[in-house]
Amino acid sequence: MKTYSEVFDVVPSDLDDLNHVNNIRYVEWIQDISKKHWIHVTDGIIQKSLIWVVRNHNITYHKSALLGDTILINTYIESNQGPISTRVVEIKNKKTDELLVKAVTEWCLLDAKTFRPKRVPEEIQSLFIP
């Protein structure tokens, strides 16, 4: 698996009424890192011809992140089957290496012109899975 990672700090706008990271913010991070990984690995021609939509998010919350925590977020493609790509996102506290959130998302690949599902081509699979 080829992993894509980012590091950032929790800021006040990430927090909910309980003063820890809002669950909605985690979903945004999951979607953002997935999109950034796609853009980082593919070129503009591919990005214009193919699009991804979420089919299913499965998110497990293990521990809360707090203001000032430094977050390490990793993502990788676990598998592809037909038009479905299964992506894992792990969100950790960078200082303690504790797992905060793990998400397994099924993304469906669509043709950008017809919006019809399209089998993940081998050349795309090879960019994400060795």
Q: What is the CATH number of the domain that holds 16?
A: 3.10.129.10
Q: Which residue range is the domain that position 9 belongs to? A: 4-128
> How much is the mean pLDDT over the chain?
97
Dihedral angle sign, alpha carbons of residues 19, 20, 26, 32: positive
Domain tally, the chain: 1
Give the Cα separation of 85 and 97 in Å (integer).
Answer: 27
pLDDT digits (tens, 9 = 90+) for 43-100: 999 999 999 999 999 999 999 999 999 999 999 999 999 999 999 999 999 999 999 9
User: Can you read off the two tokens belonging to residue 43?
Assistant: 């070129």
- Whole-structure pTM over 0.85, yes or no? yes
Categorize the per-residue pLDDT at 130 as very low, low, confident or very high, splitting at 50, 70 and 90: confident
